[in-house]
Amino acid sequence: MPLVGFTGAVLDRADRERNDPAALAAALADSHARLLRLNGLEPEVGAAGQLVWTSLADLPTGSEPLFLGYIDGMPHFAPLALGERHGTVRSPALFQMLALMPADQASLYACARSLVDWHQRHGFCPACGTPTELFRAGWARRCPACAAEHFPRTDPVVIMLAEHGGRVLLGRGPAWPPGRYSALAGFVEVGESIEEAVARETLEEAGVVVSNVRYVASQPWPFPSSLMIACVADAEDDGLTLDTHELEDAFWATRDEVRAALDGEAGARFGAPPPYAIAHTLLRAWLGGDT
């Protein structure tokens, strides 16, 4: 299996300490405790693409520390700026940073970003509308009025290559960078399995009937908090009926076309997704016969 983006953090998430006020107080008082530097939801990075950390003394007034866990025995936190609310806009600079960032650093960033973003967009109880309070060291919110407990969302998304006659189906969304094509994708809905979601999305978006769905790999995708589940499936035939709301174009790519795109060749038929996206991993796995 090729490398998978946004994975490999050496973080000990210390689930038990989240519910232990004494352990949390000790972590907050630890002189080795580190606080992630964030500008809004975007990271500061060093020359080698690594995340930048500071001490808890730099926690801005009005911010709360979210306990990420331990790295090398040292407690690590992310700052939650209360009252801030960021849109879904991601800067071009962020994608430049991600292209340089080692996967384990991106994995830590994904955890912190998704957690901060969830708190900022979930300050009220969805069951009764009351402002909620942080608990479990930053891994949940609780309603003081109705006692409902709320946990960060992780939304499973299937992303898949339908395969037919040695070629794979690639598409592009209307707002994508020029020339970029990738695997089709969509959210898993309530009441369906991964395999059913792969078949439904491929049919909805491209009119392609698939079977024999095989799991390949998974990774987090922190925009805002998806779990990407990459699969390959066999297409019944190669006819296409595109849902033009979802796909601007689609085509069946040969092995040579996929290889040229992944290698960034000048004459490549399409631009491949970046290495930190699981579609890249999926295309490399298919090319390598690992699917």
Stretch that binds its own copies, among 12-20, 91-99, 233-241, 262-270 (CB under 8 A): 12-20
Q: How far apart are CA 282 and CA 291, in angstroms?
A: 9
CB count in 10 Å sphere of residue 190: 4
Q: Which of residues 123-182 bind its own copies (CB under 8 A)?
A: 123-131, 139, 148, 150-156
C-beta of 232 vs 261, nearer to its own copies: 232
Q: Does 281 bind its own copies (CB under 8 A)?
A: no
90 binds its own copies (CB under 8 A): no
DSSP state of 91: -
By the rule CB under 8 A, 112 interacts with its own copies: yes
Decide whether 76 or 167 has the Cβ nearer to its own copies: 76
How far is 47 from 41, CA to CA, in rounded Å?
Answer: 20
CA distances from 43 to 36, 110, 239 (A): 8, 10, 44
Nearer to its own copies, 148 or 287 (CB): 148
Q: Does 71 bind its own copies (CB under 8 A)?
A: no
Distance, CA of 200 to CA of 51 (rounded, Å): 39
Q: Which residues contact 22 (CB under 8 A, 6 or more apart)?
A: none
Which amino acid would we find at residue 104? D
Q: Is 9 in the site for its own copies (CB under 8 A)?
A: yes
3-state helix, strand, coil in the chain (%, to 5): 25, 30, 45
Closest CB to its own copies among 14 and 258? 14
Tell me the closest approach of the beta carbon of residue 102 to its own copies, in angstroms. Answer: 15
Binding site for its own copies (CB under 8 A): 4, 6-7, 9, 13, 15-16, 85, 107-108, 110-112, 114-115, 118, 121-131, 139, 148, 150-156, 187-196, 200, 204, 215, 217-220, 222, 225, 227, 229, 243, 245
